[in-house]
Structure 1
């Protein structure tokens, strides 16, 4: 599996032939940001977005897993680094800073 690491460094050459598009720019803007990923079985992963690969699997670092539903675990558990397969993802949300210093997810 080839991983595309979206670097915010202007000298990074890890994405040699990657076209410049608004979608790629948006992904680069999410680097090192906290994202919340919900998957099909109801689990939610909260961690720092580190990149994606060609099939759009998502790589999170310093991630925690929360279970919602019957086997609920509201305290979560630390899972560290995780690759979440795109076919399991229901929703991806990123943090947005509001003017009043509050946080919300988009």
Structure 2
């Protein structure tokens, strides 16, 4: 991809919803606004997601174990603990901390992309 194609591609991404993974395991989901030469990315209307802390996982495991022993059910090998999230609005994600960038597409966008690919 030459420089002109890269610029056009980035311009086509403006306003799209991106999911950005950071080195500290946080995930940012927001509308792509712009980027710069240092690979910093600005997102608007952004939510930050964090994995549960080890203590939260432990507490959930203890609570689940307690409930299962009270109801005489067989212990489940799976434990589900939700990620925590918060709305942060406009955010700059430093380029050196980005590990992965994903485009979030709606089902309709996926169908359109697949239809264009088949042509």
Shared fold (TM-score, shorter chain, > 0.5): yes
1:98 is matched with: 110
Instruction: Compute the displacement of 1:68 (Å).
Output: 2.0
Work out which structure has the larger RCO, using CA pairs closer than 8 Å and 6 or more positions apart in sequence. Answer: 2
Structure 2: segments with no counterpart, 5+ residues: 55-80, 114-119
Q: Which has the larger radius of gyration?
A: 2
* Number of equivalenced pairs: 83
1:61 is matched with: 44
- Structure showing the higher strand proportion among its residues: 1
Large movers: runs of 4+ above 4 Å:
none
Aligned counterpart for 2:90 among listed residues 78, 81, 97: 81
Q: 1:36 to 1:57 in 2, by over 3 A?
A: same
Distance 2:16 2:97 in 1: 21
1:39 is matched with: 22
Distance 1:69 1:40 in 2: 16
Measured on the aligned residues, the alpha-carbon RMSD in Å equals 2.4
- Structure showing the higher helix proportion among its residues: 2
